[in-house]
Structure 1
Amino acid sequence: MKSWIQAFRLRTLPLAFSGWLVGISLTANAATLNYTVAGLTLLTAVFLQILSNLANDYGDATSGVDEKRTGEVRMVSSGQISSQAMKKAMIVFSLLSLASGSWLLYLAFPNDFIKAIIFLLIGLIGIAAAIKYTVGKNPYGYAGFGDVFVFVFFGLVLVFGTYYLQVQRLDWLIFLPAASLGLFSVGVLNVNNIRDIESDKAAGKNSIPVRIGRVAAVRYHSVILVLGLLLSALYVHLTFSTLWGFLFLMVGFLFQKNIRAVSTLPSAKLDPYLKQMAISTLLFAVLFSVGQLVSLLA
C-alpha cells in the first residue's frame, strides 16, 4: 500500500485541488453552488491526476528514462510495483475517471444531451492525453509538449470546466485566472524537468529544458510564474470591487524563492522545490478564492 501511495504522488495533487478551488470561487457571484456537482468535479480531476502520475511512472520505466534520474524513487523502475500491476492500475483509474465524469455530467446536464456529449469527449481526450503523455509509441511528453498538456488540462479545462458546470455559461474573463493556474502547473513540471535535465537528455526525452538548456529554462520558469500573477491581477483589475482581490499577490515571495532555487541549486537538490511549487500554487488558489469571496461580501 505504501508503494501505491507513493506511486500516486500525493504531493502533486494540490494542482487538481487548486484549479477546482479557483473555478468554484469564480462562481460565487454567479450561481448557487451545486455541492454534488462540485464534489464530483474535484473527484474526477483527482482521478485524472493520479492516472497521469501512474502512466508517467510506467512510461518512464519502460522507456529507460528513470535509470539515471535524480528525484524520488519511481515504483516500476525500482521493482516495488510490477509493470503489469501498474498497467492494471492505469485501467482502474481510467474507468474511475470515466465513471465519476459520467455521473457528474448526468447531474450537471440532465436535459442537455449535446453539452453532456461535448464534456464527455473532453473527458475522454483528457484520459487519453494523461496516458499518452509518456506511454506508447512517440509519447508527446518526450517531444517537449508536456507543458501544453499541463497548461490546457490543469489550467483552462479544469478552471473553465468547474465554472461552467456550475453556471452553464461562458465568461471569457475566466480565461485569465484559468491561464494563471495553467502556468503555475507548468511551473511544477518545469522544476521537475530542470531537475531531470541530464537524465532526460541521456534517455532521449526532449523536455523544454533539454531543448533550450538550463539557463533558458530558468528564464522560462521566471516568465511563466510572473505572467501567471499578472494575468490574475488583470482579472481582479477588470472585475475590481475591493483591494482584497489582490490578496493572492502575497504568494509572489514563494515564487521568487522557487525561481532563485532553480537558478542557483544543482539538479540533485531541486526535488524539495517541486513540492514547494505545488504548495505555492495551492496557496495562490486559497488566497485568490478568499479575495473573491471577500470582494463579493464587501
Structure 2
Amino acid sequence: MNAVKTNSINAWLLASRPKTLTAAAIPVMLGCATAYIYGQFQWTPAVLCFLFAFLMQINANFINDLYDFLKGSDREDRLGPERACAQGWITPRAMKAGIGVMTVASGIDGLCLLYYGGWEMIPVGLLCIVFAFLYTTGPYPLAYHGWGDVLVLIFFGFIPVGCTYYVMAHGWNSSVTFVSLACGLVIDTLLMVNNFRDREQDAISGKKTLVVRFGARTGLILYFLLGMAACWCCFYFLFIGKVYATLLPQIYLIPHILTTQKMAKIHRGKELNRILGETSRNMLIFGILLTIGLVL
C-alpha cells in the first residue's frame, strides 16, 4: 500500500472504496425487484439508478475521506481500512477536484432520470448531494452527532428503493415501504460494525455514535437486532402472496448470527475488519435472497 503513487489511477480506485458499492447496489436491486412484481420494471431507468447510486456512494466516500482527514479523525491509530488523504495517496486539493467531478457526474445522471421520474425527482437528488456533504462537513456534521443510523435508513433504504420504484411505476405502495425498511436495516449493520470497531477512537475524536453514547454491549445488541428486524419486515410479503420473499431472506439469519458471535468474541481491534467483510457479504446475501423471493 505504501507504494501507491500520489493521485494515480490506483490511488483513486482505492479512495473510491469499491467494496462499499455493495451498499449502493442492494437498494436499487430491491427497488427493481419490487417494480418487477407489479409489472413496471424498465431496463434504462434501472441502469441509470444503479449509476446514480454508484456515483453518489463514491462521492460520499471521497467527501468522508477528505473531511475526516481535515478534522484529524484519521489518526495513526485508525483501525479501519486506510484512507487516501491520510495515507498521502491523494492530495486534499486533488480530492476536492474529485468530489467536484463526482458531484457533477451524479447530477448529470440525475437529470437523465428526470425523463422517467419527472421534475419531482429534483428535490430528492439535491437532498442526496447535500446530505453527502452534511454527513461529515459543516458546523453540525451529522455523523459526529449520532445521526448516521437514521441517515442509513433514509439514504440506503427509503430513498434509493423508493425512487428506483417510482421512476418506473410513478407510485408508492406498502411493498415499497417494507422493502425499503428491510433494506435500510440490513445495511445499517455495516455502519454499526464500523462504529463498534472505532468506538474508542471515535470517543477521542468527539464522534458521538450510538456505540460511543451507549457502549459496546449496546452496539453488539443493536447489530444483531438490525439483522433480525430486516428479516421480520419480510413477513409482510405473506399478505400479498409472496411466500418466497418471506422465507428466503430468513436464510440470512444463519450467517448473521455466526458473524454476531465472532464480533462478540473479537470485541475490539483491527481484527474486527474481518467482521466488516462478513457483514458486507451477509447483507448482499440478504439482498439477493429477497430479490429472488420477490421475483419468483
Whether TM-score is above 0.5 comes out as: yes
Pick from 7, 12, 26: which aligns with 2:20?
A: 12
2:106 is matched with which residue? 97
Q: Which residue of 2 aligns with 1:113?
A: none
Deviation at 1:245, TM superposition (A): 4.6
* Aligned twin of 1:257: 258
8 Å Cα contact 1:31-1:166 kept in structure 2: no
Alpha-carbon distance between aligned partners in 2 of 1:196 and 1:86, rounded to the nearest angstrom: 24
Q: Which moved more, 1:265-274 or 1:187-196?
A: 265-274
Please, which of 214, 217, 221 is the counterpart of residue 223 of structure 2?
221
Q: Mark the CA change 1:146 to 1:156 in structure 2 (over 3 Å): closer, same or farther.
A: same
Aligned with residue 193 of structure 1, among 195, 198, 202:
195
CA RMSD of aligned residues (A): 1.4
**Unmatched 5+ stretches in structure 1:** 110-115
User: Residues of 1 paired with 2:32 and 2:95: CA distance?
Assistant: 33
Counterpart for residue 58 of structure 2? 50
Shift in Å, 1:267: 2.8
Q: By how many angstroms is 1:282 displaced?
A: 1.4
Preserved CA contact (<8 Å) 1:194 1:262: no
Q: 1:175 to 1:291 in 2, by over 3 A?
A: same
Paired position in structure 1 for 2:97: 88
Residue 79 (structure 1) aligned to one of 54, 67, 88: 88
Residues 126-149 of structure 1: per-residue CA shift (max 9 Å, x gap)? 111011111232211111111111
How far does residue 26 in structure 1 lie from its aligned partner after superposition?
1.0
In structure 1, what residue type is equivalent to 2:214? I
* Pairing 1:219-298 to 2, within 5 Å after superposition: 219-232=221-234, 234-243=235-244, 245-265=246-266, 266-294=268-296
| Superposed structure 1 runs of 4+ greater than 6 Å apart | none
- After superposition, the C-alpha distances for 1:170-203 in whole angstroms (9 at most, x for unaligned) are 1123211211110111110111111111111111
Identical-pair percentage: 27
Q: Pick the aligned partner of 1:136 from 115, 128, 138.
A: 138
Q: TM-score, normalised on structure 2?
A: 0.93
Q: Secondary structure at the match of 1:66?
A: coil
Q: Deviation string for 1:16-62 (max 9, x for gaps)?
A: 11111111111123124221111001100111111111111111111
Distance 1:72 1:237, change over 3 A: same
In the TM superposition, residue 258 of structure 1 has moved relative to its aligned partner by 2.2
- The one-letter amino acid paired with 1:287 is L
Contact conserved, 1:236 with 1:246, CA < 8 A, in 2?
no
Judge conservation of contact 2:245–2:290 (CA < 8 Å) in 1. no
**188-197 or 243-252, larger mean C-alpha shift:** 243-252
Paired residue secondary structure (1:117):
coil
1:26 aligns with 2:34: yes
Give the secondary structure class of the aligned counterpart of 1:65: coil
1: CA distance, partners of 2:244 / 2:189? 27
Whole-Å Cα distance in 2 between the matches of residues 182 and 119 of structure 1? 20
SS at match of 1:255: helix
The residue aligned with 2:3 is: none
Structure 2: how far apart are the matches of 1:180 and 1:85?
A: 37
Is residue 2:11 matched to residue 1:3? yes
Is residue 237–residue 245 contact of structure 2 (8 Å, CA) maintained in 1? no
Higher RCO (CA < 8 A, seq sep 6+): 1
The number of residues matched between the two structures is: 286
- Normalising by structure 1, we get a TM-score of 0.92
Distance 1:138 1:32, change over 3 A: closer
Partner of 2:48 in structure 1?
A: 40
CA contact (8 A) 1:14 1:278 kept: yes
**Structure 1 position 150, deviation (Å):** 1.1
Q: Which moved more, 1:130-139 or 1:33-42?
A: 130-139
How far did residue 243 of structure 1 move? Answer: 4.2
Q: Which residue of 2 aligns with 1:179?
A: 181
Give CA-to-partner distance per residue, 1:42-86, whole Å, 9 cap, x none: 100111111111111111111111103111111111111111111
Seen in structure 2, the aligned counterparts of structure 1 residues 245 and 223 have a Cα distance that, compared at 3 Å, is closer
